[in-house]
Structure 1
């Protein structure tokens, strides 16, 4: 089952590392902003919207996020 999202383009290519993949994405990107998520990232519900609002409020062109980890229950 595939879900179509008008502003999202899914690309597929042989594994050549994240730099090659991101550069390919940048080559075809048409939007004002680009967001890269890694396969192990867990995104909060309104993360991208919150970042976009803050970028526009501050007339900032680039944002970085700090990694946050939640404590995990011990495994026995």
Structure 2
């Protein structure tokens, strides 16, 4: 992934983290930066397991999102 990918579209899928679930909620974002911010907010507020698919086809797992979403990364 390149820094320019932060400004490209991305899909965010949120799975509940508190119990097994069969329903996920998906959202489209105009930028990966916005999808990452929403993923972090969902982790903090909802105990969710976010997965992001970038326009380039990269799949960002919950562990990657948690490890790589420091404020400096999103700016």
Q: Same fold (TM over 0.5)?
A: no
- TM-score of the superposition, structure 1-length normalised? 0.31
- TM-score of the superposition, structure 2-length normalised? 0.31
- Considering only CA atoms, is the larger Rg found in Structure 1 or Structure 2? 1
**Which structure is higher in RCO with an 8 Å CA cutoff and minimum separation 6?**
2
Task: Decide which structure has greater strand share.
Answer: 2
